[in-house]
Amino acid sequence: MERKPCIEEKKMKQLWTPWRIEYILGPKPDSCVFCLPESREEDEERLVLYRGRHAFVIMNKFPYSNGHIMVCPYRHVMALAQLEKDETHEIMDLMQRCTLVLQEHFHCEGINIGLNQGQAAGAGIREHLHFHLVPRWNGDSSFMAVMDEVRTIPEHLRSSYAHLKPYFDRF
């Protein structure tokens, strides 16, 4: 009988992502990326799609799929229970409207909507509450995820922003 090794040998995987050099070499913010200045001058650069009274919609710079957007309160809070009633209502209204935009533009068959509250729950930026809306399609993971646990993003982030912004200008 042949013995199998106890430890599975792992091969190094490489994925070519030349657009990430901008993040690697670029300046890192000293402040919270979700704390927006009052001025709207940087909105396009920051990928802000919409500004409401208590909350805003922004694209994820490191998306899980095309059209991955987030809804955030302006106030720098960490927990859902810290939101005021008006903030909570506007965030929910924006999430409803965002689902309609994503469905209309991307013709997605589903949308993952979630909140990772706290680092243990997977929050990459735990200090500022933010809700994710990720468009999904049947079979959207393609062979890449099945074969090698890799996801692909077929459209450039700036193109997605340019396509989505007019929808949010109508709000």
Express each pLDDT in 23-60 by its tens digit.
Answer: 667 766 678 999 999 999 999 999 999 999 999 999 99
Domain limits for position 51: 18-169
Whether 86 maps to a domain, the answer reads yes
- Identified catalytic residue from 76, 105, 107, 130: 130
Is 116 part of a structural domain of the chain? yes
Q: How many domains does the chain have?
A: 1
Q: Is 60 within any annotated ligand binding site?
A: yes
Residue 97 covered by a domain: yes
Task: Please report the beta strands in the chain, taking only residues with DSSP state E, as ranges in sequence order.
Answer: 48-51, 55-59, 69-73, 110-115, 131-136
Structure tokens at 69: 């957007």
In a domain, 5, yes or no: no
State the CATH number of the domain containing residue 147.
3.30.428.10
Q: Tell me whether residue 130 is one of the annotated catalytic residues.
A: yes
Q: Is 3 domain-assigned? A: no
In a domain, 4, yes or no: no
| Single pTM value for the model | 0.79
CB atoms < 10 A from the CB of 82, how many? 12
